[in-house]
Amino acid sequence: MKGSSLRVIVVLAAVALLSGSVATNAQVAALGKPRQACSNPTNQMTLFAERLGPTRVGYGRTPKGASIPGPTITMTEGDCLAINLINDTNRPVSLHVHGVAYSPASDGTAVNHGCVSPGKSRTYVWNALQPGADSNGNLEPGSRGYWPYHDHCMGGPHGTLGIESGLFGALIVRAPNDPTPDRPPFVIVMSPGFTINLRRAPYTPIFKANLGERVEFVVIGMGDDFHTFHLHGHRWVDNRTGIPTSPADDSPVIDNKTLGPADSFGFFTTAGYQVGPGAWMYHCHVQAHSDLGMSGLFVVRKADGTMTPQEKRAIARWKKLELEHRHMLGGHSGP
Ligand SMILES: [Cu+2]
């Protein structure tokens, strides 16, 4: 066999090995030994579950600091986070998370004795996995991504009442070299009862950024319904971060994405890129849902942080229009 043919075969064999799901010993060695469990947490935090009114409950980082959604938790692959949940409500609650690894004791379900009684506390341990391979060389994914966390105990074994009441939030797991946003991520939960963060327009969040800032949206579905998230004036690539990997990246460019219960995604975009400052709507694109109040605003100010007179007027107009429209439809008029 000629040397050139041999080289081709060697290259093809290498490509076949690299593109398969089974890793070579060298690849497995290069990945390092994945941590199997995290008995020694690298980070810890306290979360409080608290009542926020007759029908609302939230998670918070401090007593009286609960919010809906709960605090956005950020981890990096390889982190091991211990969360002590203190239940200041009058019903059993828990903390169940998607995307990371945990033992049955940290599953947050009644099935695994993971509920916290009123007045009690419990520690859950989350392991943000690094990409690795099992003992047979099968590649396994890490935990990088945008994930929901939520109650799994209030009102029954599925935490349905907890989710309806506001016990949910976002977890962001970053890969080591991932970008970070210029301001805290904007979290939009398309929540039960055709709401956003359990609110209806014009009481839904108005997110603000300055022209040219790198912002990060996190979108989560919770409850019984399917939604489509649409953002005006901006677009992103349908991959893990929303950022093209190169100018030639041919991944689909989108500005609307379907979301089922407990689905989640996130993306980076540059505020006002090629469109300038303005009051940009975001909303569920199921028309009946947006008419019921699943709509909000992304306000892009000028680069110096001030608003144009036009966008101040647009924000006022949005509030008036949303209230009038819901009144006209005879729908729920409160938050
Ligand atoms: Cu919807």
pLDDT tens, position by position, 309-333 = 999 999 999 999 999 887 777 666 6
Calpha distance 293→204 (Å, rounded)? 8
How long is the chain? Answer: 335
User: How far does the centroid of ligand 1 lie from the alpha carbon of residue 255, in Å?
Assistant: 15
Determine how β-strand 132-133 pairs with β-strand 121-127. Answer: unpaired
Q: Name the residue type at position 83.
A: I
pTM value is 0.89
Cβ atoms of 112 and 141 within 8 Å: the answer is no
Calpha distance 214→268 (Å, rounded)? 7
28 has a pLDDT exceeding 60: no
Single out the residue of 259, 92, 93, 74 nearest to residue 167, CA to CA.
93
100 has a pLDDT exceeding 60: yes
Contacts of 65 (CB under 8 A, 6+ apart): 48
User: How far does the centroid of ligand 1 lie from the alpha carbon of residue 74, in Å?
Assistant: 26
User: How far does the centroid of ligand 1 lie from the alpha carbon of residue 137, in Å?
Assistant: 42
Any idea which of 13-22, 71-80, 196-205, 321-330 has the lowest mean pLDDT?
13-22
User: How far does the centroid of ligand 1 lie from the alpha carbon of residue 224, in Å?
Assistant: 10
User: How far does the centroid of ligand 1 lie from the alpha carbon of residue 76, in Å?
Assistant: 31
Listed in sequence order, the DSSP H helices in the chain are 3-19, 25-31, 160-165, 287-291, 309-329
User: How far does the centroid of ligand 1 lie from the alpha carbon of residue 283, in Å?
Assistant: 8
Average pLDDT over residues 234-247: 97
User: How far does the centroid of ligand 1 lie from the alpha carbon of residue 284, in Å?
Assistant: 5
Listed in sequence order, the DSSP H helices in 20-145 are 25-31
Average pLDDT over residues 141-168: 97
pLDDT, tens only, 62-81 = 999 999 999 999 999 999 99
User: How far does the centroid of ligand 1 lie from the alpha carbon of residue 164, in Å?
Assistant: 16
User: How far does the centroid of ligand 1 lie from the alpha carbon of residue 182, in Å?
Assistant: 28
User: How far does the centroid of ligand 1 lie from the alpha carbon of residue 194, in Å?
Assistant: 6
User: How far does the centroid of ligand 1 lie from the alpha carbon of residue 196, in Å?
Assistant: 9
Phi and psi angles of residue 215, each rounded to the nearest 5 degrees, phi first: -115, 160
Percent of the chain clearing pLDDT 90 (strictly above): 84
User: How far does the centroid of ligand 1 lie from the alpha carbon of residue 228, in Å?
Assistant: 6
Higher pLDDT, 57 or 323: 57
User: How far does the centroid of ligand 1 lie from the alpha carbon of residue 188, in Å?
Assistant: 12
3-class DSSP state for residue 99?
coil
